[in-house]
Amino acid sequence: MAPLTRLGLCCHLRVLLRFCHREGITSRDLSGAVGTPQIYRHDDVPRSITWDEVRRMLEAVERRTIRGRRDYAILLLLVTYGLRAHEVARLTLGDVDWKRERLQVLARKAGHATVYPLAGVVAEAIVDYLKHGRPKTEDRHLFFRIYAPQAPISAAAVSSSVALYLHKAGVQVRRAGSHTLRHTCVQRLIDAEFPLKTIGERVSRYLSSIRCGTHSG
């Protein structure tokens, strides 16, 4: 139930209880027992965004620049697979299996990894960045900072980039960041009526057959 709906229901209930006491239906006024639900600023703003808003966000990326090529690939990875910012930041060249068309995402625990099918639109964006954006370096990390000193991108920078393009696209969302696209990916599965157990497993372990990121609007 939405916060404003709960607030309205509580107001109506208090009125009803005061009426019951006034008419002698109840021996005492019980309206004081009904609390007021707390409403926070922006609480009504959804945590996920629509696919039209995803399209607008992607269109806000200037893909002719090095940063644009990098960020476009990052955004697609986040919204396609529901990855966390630190998972994207830790990706290496070896995590992309071009021959088998697979993407490997290492878990926090050593020796554990999740393998996803490599969506075509994601692969194209990564290739564009590798050819025209990624610096020449012996470091095997996939994504790098744009400005000196040369270093792999951080999780905080990944999340900040998402917030930047959501703002550019005029998309309002509560606490915008990488989690926004993670929630959007999950919402895609909910809309497709996947069982909740399947959705939980998808987010934490495996990308199911639906390619939520291949729909670019």
CATH of the domain at 170: 1.10.443.10
Residues 19 and 92 grouped into a single domain: no
Residues 28 and 81 both lie in one domain:
no
Q: Is residue 204 assigned to a domain?
A: yes
User: How many Å apart are CA 77 and CA 84, to the nearest integer?
Assistant: 10
Judgement on whether residues 138 and 174 belong to the same structural domain of the protein: yes
- Does any domain span residue 71? yes
3-state secondary structure of 94: helix
Q: Residue 43: inside a domain, yes or no?
A: no
Q: Write down the pLDDT at residue 32.
A: 83
| pTM of the complete model | 0.68
C-alpha–C-alpha distance, residues 154 and 185, integer Å: 22
Q: What's the number of domains the chain is made of?
A: 2
Do 22 and 122 have their domain in common? no
Q: Six-digit token pair at 6?
A: 């709960």
Tens-digit pLDDT profile for residues 54-78: 999 999 999 999 999 999 999 999 9
Based on the fold, state whether residues 21 and 70 are members of the same structural domain.
no
In a domain, 39, yes or no: no
Q: pLDDT digits over 85-135, tens only?
A: 999 999 999 999 999 999 999 876 556 788 888 999 999 999 999 999 999
Owning domain of residue 9? 3-33
Q: Count of CB atoms within 10 A of residue 11's CB?
A: 12
In a domain, 132, yes or no: yes
